[in-house]
Amino acid sequence: MSDFNLSAFSDAIADIAAAAAPATASFATHQRRTATAFHWRDGYFIAAQEAVEAGEEIELTLSSGDKVKAELVGRDPSTGTALLKPTGAPDVPSLAKAGTVRPGHLAIAIGNSDGAGLAAFGTVGEVGPAWRSMRGGTIDRRINLAVNAGGRFEGGPVLDAKGALIGMLLFGPRRRALVMPYETIERAAATLREKGHVARGYLGAGLHPIRNGDTHGAMVMSLDDNGPAKAAGLHLGDIIVSWNGEAVHGPRDLIRRLGPDSAGASVTLGVARGGERRDVVLTIGEKPLN
């Protein structure tokens, strides 16, 4: 008979969840559902940026059941991170940072629902190199989870078998559970705390995917009067087909390249205009906040 003690293993998972619960809080989102936030450090909380809206009133329910108002300090769509600052700086713990994780390692998702603790466990399904999000953010590691966690866990911490923080739980396409690594959160939170926003690259052009024979790219459908695209000489109807010599297959390709590190950079766009190809040199702007 195996020496594995299922009851002890079950208690160990529950103990990890119970130890992490005081660091979490819940709040009602603008979509009228419940999401989780967790204490980062110095009284600041981390949440999923899609769960919060600028200007809305946020009330956090702590694991103690106490309710505190919170201010949205800023949010970064490129990493899915929002930074919240409760009033009164509630006395709650922070989570230690996890070490290396590998596929197959235990992963514990922690949530909060009106003060009640939530927990689900599974495994780390995939660990990969740095990648770029759909909105141009540089994500330090690709970590996908094999864990069954519902919407109330969104924005909550994901822990390893020692109860240390791997990152924040988000949901990708088809509700696939993934982790925003703590290194990425740390970088985004520091910028949000200092500036209230994370800069994003800006072309100042409305784009539409186009496939016309051998020409694939992003067609310019509108131009902002004071935007970089118009200043560089792009015209309505131009088709952007390359970026610094690399093929552009549509608007999504361009958006991925317009991350926080792109603002101020000079790029050469390959453009199809009237059946002819030409290069347009453009300095990427910083996306306006409004």
Return the exposure string of 125-145: e unless at least 16 CB atoms fall within 10 Å of the residue's CB, then b.
bebeeeeebebbbebbbebbb
Q: Which of 266, 227, 254, 283 is nearest to 136 (CA)?
A: 254
> What distance in Å separates the CA atoms of residue 181 and residue 142, rounded to the nearest whole number?
8
**What pTM did the predictor assign?**
0.86
Q: Round to whole Å and give the CA distance between 147 and 11.
A: 18
Options 3.40.190.10, 3.30.470.20, 2.40.10.120, 2.60.40.3080; which CATH number does 1-198 get?
2.40.10.120
Lowest-confidence pick of 139-148, 213-222, 237-246? 213-222
Residue 49 confidence (pLDDT): 95
Q: What is the C-alpha to C-alpha distance for residues 115 and 191, in angstroms, rounded to an integer?
A: 29
How confident is the model over 34-60, as pLDDT tens digits?
999 999 999 999 999 999 988 888 999
Q: Give the homologous superfamily in CATH for domain 201-286.
A: PDZ domain (2.30.42.10)
Distance linking the first and last C-alpha atoms of the chain: 65
What number is the average pLDDT over the span 169-185?
93
Lowest mean pLDDT among 102-116, 119-133, 230-244, 255-269: 255-269
Cβ contacts of residue 30 below 8 Å, gap of 6+?
51, 52, 53, 56
Asked whether the beta carbons of 235 and 256 are under 8 A apart, the reply is no
Give the C-alpha distances (Å, rounded to integers) separating 144 from 11, 124, 159: 25, 6, 13
Within 13 Å, how many C-alpha atoms sit on residue 243's CB side? 19
Domain ranges of the chain: 1-198, 201-286
Q: What token pair was written down for 211?
A: 């496939």
Q: pLDDT of 182-235, one tens digit each?
A: 999 999 999 999 999 988 899 999 999 998 777 789 999 999 999 999 999 999
Measure the CA–CA gap between 284 and 249, rounded to whole angstroms: 19
pLDDT, position 290: 58
Does an H or E element contain 95, and which? Answer: none
C-alpha to C-alpha distance for 155 and 180, rounded to whole angstroms = 9
Name 158's bridge partners: 109, 167
Asked whether this chain's domains 1-198 and 201-286 adopt the same fold, the reply is no
Structure tokens at 62: 């702590």
pLDDT above 70 (res 103): yes
- From the list 128, 227, 159, 150, the residue with the least C-alpha distance to 23 is 159
